[in-house]
Amino acid sequence: MNNDRQLTAALVAGISVVAIFGALKHWKYSQEWNEFIVQEALPAEGLLLGYFQYPEAAEADLAVVEPGLRIHKDAYTALISMRAAANDDGVELILLSGFQSHEWQKKIFFAIKSDKDSKAIERANAFAPPGYSEHSTGYAIDLGDGSSRNSDFEIDFESTEAFHWLQDNASKFGFVLSFPNANIQGVRYQPWHWRFEGTETAKRQFRQPNELTGKIK
């Protein structure tokens, strides 16, 4: 009887410790985000470190391209057709990433932040701040070249056959390069990152960057 009571007390204590740590972690997380917003936001231009804010695609609007990789269902056929067309030309397009939830972006962003020397602005060069990534919409994709995997997420990707093929053909499938070299948004050049604007709804999502670049008025 006594032993049982001790065991129960130990269990309750254990569970409490786990719960308290969980709550603390969550608190730290939101504190970091609030600090980040206060210090880094540029509300006057509606931009955060050069990025615009994007809503998260609804689960029902996402289609699985391959395990762990989903994109907006409206971009699905375009992507599959584009990959097939590239393949016909001897180019293997690798889908490196598609939809990313805000929660996932937060985890990645603050995981990088925990490296003491990295500043928010440097991190944003690699990853948009959580909630500010085109990947949230499900319309943005990162592409690699099957014959040059060393160039995945590297500027060198611009020298691959895949990139040259995309420059010539991506627009036929509704895909545009989001962050060309020296883009007016001030976001790091990302030759691997393309967004789908092949439907009116998709185009509407990217009204802000397209207004900035003068593509739409």
Q: How far is the CB of 106 from Zn ion (least distance, A)?
A: 16
Report the residue number, 35 or 133, with the smaller CB distance to Zn ion. Answer: 133
Report the residue number, 72 or 193, with the smaller CB distance to Zn ion. Answer: 193
Two tokens at 188?
A: 């790091």
Q: How far is the CB of 17 from Zn ion (least distance, A)?
A: 39
Distance in angstroms (rounded) separating the CA atoms of residues 211 and 205: 12
Q: How far is the CB of 178 from Zn ion (least distance, A)?
A: 7
Distance in angstroms (rounded) separating the CA atoms of residues 50 and 65: 29
Long-range contacts of 208-214 (CB under 8 A, 24+ apart): 208/46, 208/52, 209/52, 209/178, 209/185, 212/184, 212/185, 213/183, 213/184, 213/185
β-bridge mates for residue 95, sequence order: 143
Q: What is the dihedral of CA 47, 170, 200, 78, to 10 degrees?
A: -120
Determine the residue with CB nearest Zn ion.
193
Report the residue number, 142 or 197, with the smaller CB distance to Zn ion. Answer: 142
Q: How far is the CB of 126 from Zn ion (least distance, A)?
A: 10
Distance in angstroms (rounded) separating the CA atoms of residues 36 and 30: 10
Report the residue number, 28 or 68, with the smaller CB distance to Zn ion. Answer: 68
Report the residue number, 22 or 179, with the smaller CB distance to Zn ion. Answer: 179
* Site residues (vs Zn ion, CB under 5 A): 142, 193
Q: How far is the CB of 183 from Zn ion (least distance, A)?
A: 14
Instruction: Answer for the pair 141, 194: CB distance below 8 angstroms, yes or no.
Output: yes
